[in-house]
Structure 1
Amino acid sequence: MGGQADRRAEHEQAAVTVDLVILTIRSDELHVLLIERGKEPFAGMPALPGGYVRIGEPLDDAARRELVEETGVDDHRLHLEQLRSYGDPQRDPRGRVVTVAYLALRPDLPVPKAGTDASAAAWIPVEEALAEADSLAFDHGLILQDALEKARTKLEYTTVATAFCVEPFTVSELRRVYEAVWGVALDPSNFRRKVTRAEDFLEATGERRTLDTGRPAALYRRGGAELLAPPLHRPEHASRGRLPAF
């Protein structure tokens, strides 16, 4: 019995939380949702929205609940996926806390409203947030950087860029998504050729939108593909790490 008790004592009890990196594009610039913590630890510091997982609660449900409780954003059309887990023993001064981070994408999300543990919530340009990554609560600076790199890579190999677009959209609007996320200007003609030739990436609606200048632009919706074939690789000088200044 004593040996069994000793073995149990070796296994530290850990709490589980979820943290969300929510990205949207506002005025052709990539933004991340940050809150101001209303409670200790790190009261008054910027942080990613998130919180504890309740007993019996699935992780995805916890992520969506925390999204509503801390920001007032209730949008089940969000592209939401697990990023990875973070379990450094020193990441939370309250004790051993393992967090499961989520990456969420959606076009032009509304102005958030803070609630529960958050005293404020706002969309922050990613470039600004990365410049202050070391000042984010917990290890949220690291989580943010990991999520951004994941989003940039997913744009190369999957069709997730359309999650930032309101359908129907133009190729130019899709190109601005890539430019905002990758932090680099792309050649319009080359981009159009690649995305329209990619297998089942875009589906033409047969309609056009009148623009202020030039010819009316063809409108598209997302096709059925989830993977890009062929991939759309980032230029060599595109963002890998911190976003460069435009």
Structure 2
Amino acid sequence: MKYSNQERMLVAVDSIIIGFDGNEYKILLIQRGFAPEKEKWSLMGGFVQKNESLDDAASRILDQLTGLKNVYLEQLHSFGKPNRDPIERVIAVTYMALIDIQQYEQQINNDFHARWFPINQLPKLIFDHEEMIDMALMKLRYKATLHPVLFELLPDKFTIPQLITMYEGLFATEIDKRNFSRKILSSDLLIKENEKDKSSSKRGAFYFRLNRETYKKNFQRIHNFLPKN
């Protein structure tokens, strides 16, 4: 039995894979493998199969196109303009993935020429993929003020300067480094390690880990460390 007098349409998932390499934010793109717009730069996307959920489709397509598995994936928004795809009516559901570039660099396969692009140096993308990225970054900025989501972009051990660079890069603003450090170190959100990172200076900077238990209890406190507009 089917619903009568209803037009059939395709459903796709597109993933905005956001990475941080310790200095800047990047988006992972591929060259599209089929027409239309073949070999043009694209987000990771594909069609949902009959017997899979949206989440399962997003994970499968990400694995097939890049080899990435078990990464942070969050459903964001649906794009459904009638003419967004020139071939057929396609509803696209977007997902956002957050990864530490250095951790997953060796895992990414090259079958579709996957390549990292800085968020302010993106090539021309197919369809409405630029709009998808803009929305993902806007939602990430909102979430980052309330939730430890940005820590998905960092290795398990990180320094305060890396943390500051990460927040400055996302919000495109300069943070009072001394004030930020004082507030976050007094919050019990971080666990200090004995080891130092001496790659940038002789004195070095201590490594820290996120105290996830404390953060879950006080997750809104991250807002107090960010500059007020």
State the TM-score bracket (shorter-chain normalisation). 0.7 to 0.9
User: Structure 1 residues 8 and 233 mapped into 2: Cα distance closer, same or farther (>3 Å)?
Assistant: farther
Q: TM-score, normalised by structure 1?
A: 0.80
TM-score by length of 2: 0.85
Q: What is the CA–CA distance in structure 1 between the aligned matches of 2:114 and 2:193, rounded to whole Å?
A: 40
1:191 aligned partner? 180
- Match for residue 50 of structure 2 among 52, 55, 65: 55
- Does the Cα contact within 8 Å between 1:25 and 1:177 map onto a contact in 2? yes
> 2:109: which partner in 1?
113
2:153 counterpart of 1:158 = no
Question: C-alpha offsets along residues 73-101 of structure 1, whole Å, 9 cap, x if unaligned?
Answer: x231x221111111111111222211110
- Determine the structure 1 residue equivalent to 2:129: 140
Cα shift at 1:156: 1.4
- Cα distance between partner residues in 1 of 2:87 and 2:197: 56
For the residue of structure 2 that corresponds to 1:38, the secondary structure is: coil
* Identical counterparts, % of pairs: 32
Q: Give 2:40's aligned amino acid.
A: M
Using the TM superposition, give the Cα deviation of residue 32 of structure 1 relative to its aligned residue in structure 2, in angstroms: 0.1
Query: Could you report, residue by residue, the CA deviation over 1:78-136 in whole angstroms, capped at 9, with x for unpaired residues?
Result: 22111111111111122221111011111123163343xx4x2200111011xx4xx31
1:134-168 C-alpha deviation (Å, 9 max, x unpaired): x3112101001001111122221111121111112
Q: 1:220 aligns with which of 208, 212, 217?
A: 208
8 Å contact from structure 2 (residues 82, 89) kept in 1: yes
Tell me if structure 2 keeps the 8 A contact 1:25–1:180. no
Q: Structure 1, residues 32-56: CA drift from partner, whole Å, max 9, x if none? A: 0111112111112111011011122
User: Taking structure 1 as reference, are residues 230 and 160 closer, same or farther at Cα in structure 2, changes over 3 Å only?
Assistant: closer
Q: 2:31 aligns with which of 33, 36, 55?
A: 36
CA distance in 2, matches of 1:141, 1:216: 39
Q: Structure 2: any 5+ residue segments left out of the alignment?
A: none
Unpaired runs of at least 5, structure 1? 237-246
The 8 Å contact of residues 35 and 114 in structure 1, kept in 2 or not, is answered as no
User: Are 2:196 and 1:209 equivalent residues in the alignment?
Assistant: yes
Counterpart Cα distance in 2 of 1:210 and 1:42 = 45
How many Å apart are 1:233 and its aligned residue?
Answer: 3.8
Aligned to 1:172: 161
Provide the rounded CA distance (Å) in 1 between the counterparts of 2:222 and 2:134.
Answer: 26
Q: Are the equivalent residues in 2 in contact too, given 1:81–1:102 (CA < 8 A)?
A: yes
Partner of 2:115: 122
Residue in 2 that maps onto 1:244: none
Which whole-Å CA distance do the structure 2 matches of 1:165 and 1:174 have between them?
Answer: 8
Q: Tell me how far apart the structure 2 counterparts of residues 167 and 152 of structure 1 sit (CA, whole Å).
A: 21
Aligned match of 1:241 = none
Q: Give the RMSD, CA atoms, in angstroms.
A: 2.2
Give the whole-Å Cα distance in 2 for the aligned partners of 1:148 and 1:106: 14
Change over 3 Å in CA distance of 1:63–1:169 after alignment to 2: same
**Residue type of the alignment partner of 1:228:** Q
Q: 1 CA distance for matches of 2:97 and 2:197?
A: 31
* Residue-pair matches, total: 219
